[in-house]
Amino acid sequence: MIMEAKQLTGSQAVLEAFIAEGVDTIFGYPGGAIMPIYDALYDYHEKLKHILVRHEQGGIHAGQGYARTSGKVGVVFATSGPGATNLVTGLADAMIDSTPLVCITGQVYAHLLGTDAFQETDIINITMPVTKWNYQITDATEIPHILAKAFYLAKSGRPGPVLIDISKNAQLQKFDYPGYTTCNHVRSYRPKPLIRKEYIDAAVALINGAKKPMIIFGQGVILGTAEKEFKKFVEKSGIPAAWTILGLSALPTDHPLNVGMLGMHGNYGPNVLTNECDVLIAVGMRFDDRVTGRLDKYAKQAKIIHLDIDPSEIDKNVKADVGVWGDCKETLPLLTFGIEQKVRTEWVNLFKDYAQKEYDQCIKDEIYPKTEEMTMGEVIRIVNEVSKGEAIMVTDVGQHQMVTCRYAQFNQSRSNVTSGGLGTMGFGLPAAIGAKFGALDRTVVAVIGDGGFQMTLQELGTIMQTGVDVKILILNNQFLGMVRQWQQLFHDKRYSFVDIQSPDYIMLAKSYGIAGEKVEKRENLATAVKTMLESKGSFLLEVMVGKENNVFPMVPQGCSVSEIRLK
């Protein structure tokens, strides 16, 4: 007896692929060109949870937040034309921050392609520079293997966003469904470069001979799920380790060898001592300009060891003496096995001396201010005291982002979600929604400035409709604070269009059924933070902080990291 092949529409095949890939949550917004997929989703709602966002940009940022906290691939739906183009900012953000996404966009019927049909855009060529891979499907029979390839490429090697554009006829087309086979190989694509023993041996020799070595670690440790391997390497080597903002939380913030944040608003010691160490070991980071400052004055005295899964990053910005290709989950244990166990008391104490100087001249007044005005730093200090380092902190972009990254305390990995490379204002609120869906058992706090919040505040509607529990902390300085700081320091206080007015956020939250409170006096702050964190359901807390407070330390643009200013 010959069994008849199972017939599915292209739309059903898309959803079957999601189920096979273990997808449980989709963020999206329907429209004409993707309507057949949404029609099919009606019959799959018990297997696939769909979150209706209020804007496609909110959807893709939510997908990013979900991916960052869950470790899974974020999935996003959008329709053609403006729906698809509204994803571009999030795709660029995910691309530079190596966030795994699979975005499905609807497209006009295949026979209309190139005719300037209603809501037609060439989303493939538009998104080619900001995706790891993209592809347009016009025949439903391609859907199973193209979706399998999409998920494989998004999550393997150095992760990134993938966009699959599906014409409406392909969504409607019925075909003999062959079943779904996951992908684990793509010709000419090598997600993990071969580990070369000679490079491991060369790195081990440099580390063992070093007198003043320093580690800088980035998000590669987290993406490679190599936190345990990294901790063992740090502890056996005895080397002080500093982080980029995307590497934050890979090593607990209270670890004795965690010496703080690198870069423009990083900590004093690791920045200055970058230009004094003799061996610099970079793990899963890309030497971004915000970390290095002037490249011609960056760590010129040091031998550079660079561990990365992406060979194109090695020697791209900083020339490595030893480039260790490979997944750091595999390369770090090889280094740990080969290196000598050491205690570097004198060198580590030098970082502590710089940390004390920074505390006395900069941090103390930020987290324990003597002025009447509240500071962002003291708010984050109180959040730490109540959360005890267990919360996920999602930040938007600006002064509050730098302050939160500097002062937030984390006990576990995947606790810091922020827009690193692209610096996308408006990221915070939708990313926090996605972060919560990716980690339902954890408290999620969105720390957002008054400027960034107004870019995507419509996503309060997503919170209202889903009932998702997100704590929203608006640090309101009545300015576009980071731009104002630069205008003050480098443009003679010519405050050009940075004075921003805000709505009544508490009334706004109430209109969406979200409880809220505004704090203008210090005596009410600690109680309000406790109320926010202990509330059942979402809560919006607005704290009025000093209008012209600046974030220090700071490496001025065009300066070396050792020229960092404490004031």
Kindly report, residue by residue over 113-134, the tens digit of the pLDDT.
999 999 999 999 999 999 999 9
DSSP 227-243: HHHHHHHHHHHT--EEE
- Would strands 471-476 and 539-544 be described as parallel, antiparallel, or unpaired? parallel
Residue 566 has, within 13 A of its CA and on its CB side, a CA count of 15
Helix (H, G, I), strand (E, B) or coil at 522: helix
Q: Helices (H) and strands (E) in the chain — how many of each?
A: 24, 20
- What is the pTM assigned to this prediction? 0.97
Q: Please name the amino acid found at residue 428.
A: G
Q: Please name the amino acid found at residue 427.
A: F
Write down the mean pLDDT value for the chain: 96
Residues 215, 164: Cα–Cα separation, whole Å: 39
Rg, Å, the chain Cα set: 24
DSSP 364-417: HHHHS--SSS--HHHHHHHHHHHHTT-SEEEE-SSHHHHHHHHH---SSSS-EE
Distance of CA 319 to the CA centre of its chain: 26
Q: Are the beta carbons of 127 and 76 closer than 8 angstroms?
A: no
pLDDT over 70, % of the chain = 99
State the pLDDT confidence band at 557, using cuts at 50, 70 and 90.
confident
Structural tokens at position 529: 């933070």
Which residue, chain included where needed, has tokens 């009932």? 467
Q: Which residues contact 380 (CB under 8 A, 6 or more apart)?
A: 367, 403, 404, 407, 408, 447
Q: Are the beta carbons of 427 and 403 closer than 8 angstroms?
A: no
Which residue, chain included where needed, has tokens 């940390």? 355
State the pLDDT confidence band at 34, using cuts at 50, 70 and 90.
very high
Per-residue pLDDT, averaged over 526-544, amounts to 98
pLDDT above 70 (res 528): yes
pLDDT above 70 (res 2): no
Residues 564, 176: Cα–Cα separation, whole Å: 64
CB atoms within 10 A of CB 273: 22
pLDDT above 70 (res 63): yes
Q: Which residues contact 70 (CB under 8 A, 6 or more apart)?
A: 438, 439
Q: What does the angle CA 150 – CA 155 – CA 159 come to, to the nearest 5 degrees?
A: 110
* pLDDT value for 293: 93
State the pLDDT confidence band at 567, using cuts at 50, 70 and 90.
confident
Q: Are the beta carbons of 248 and 404 closer than 8 angstroms?
A: no
Per-residue pLDDT, averaged over 352-369, amounts to 96
Tell me 259's DSSP state: E
| Nearest CA among 207, 259, 267, 201 for reference residue 233 | 207
Q: Which domains does the chain have, with CATH numbers?
A: 6-177 (3.40.50.970), 197-351 (3.40.50.1220), 374-544 (3.40.50.970)
For residues 195-212, one letter each, b for 16 or more C-beta atoms within 10 angstroms of the residue's C-beta and e for the rest, the string is eeeebbebbbebbeebeb
State the pLDDT confidence band at 4, using cuts at 50, 70 and 90.
low
Q: What is the 3-class SS of 76-90, one letter each residue?
A: EEECCCHHHHCCHHH
Residues 418, 65: Cα–Cα separation, whole Å: 9
Where in the sequence numbering do the catalytic residues fall? 56, 118-119, 168, 482
The 10s digit of each residue's pLDDT in 370-381 is 999 999 999 999
Alpha helices per DSSP H over 460-521 = 460-466, 481-490, 505-511
pLDDT above 60 (res 1): no
Q: Are the beta carbons of 298 and 318 closer than 8 angstroms?
A: yes
pLDDT over 90, % of the chain = 98
The 10s digit of each residue's pLDDT in 409-458 is 999 999 999 999 999 999 999 999 999 999 999 999 999 999 999 999 99
Alpha helices per DSSP H over 220-375 = 220-223, 227-237, 268-274, 289-292, 328-338, 345-358, 364-367
Q: Are the beta carbons of 533 and 387 closer than 8 angstroms?
A: yes
Residues 195, 200: Cα–Cα separation, whole Å: 8
Q: First vs last Cα of the chain: how many Å apart?
A: 82
Residues 393, 414: Cα–Cα separation, whole Å: 9
Which residue, chain included where needed, has tokens 């490249």? 295
Q: What does the angle CA 158 – CA 162 – CA 164 come to, to the nearest 5 degrees?
A: 160
Helix (H, G, I), strand (E, B) or coil at 514: coil
Sheet with 539-544, side-by-side order of all strands: 416-417, 392-395, 444-449, 471-476, 539-544, 515-519
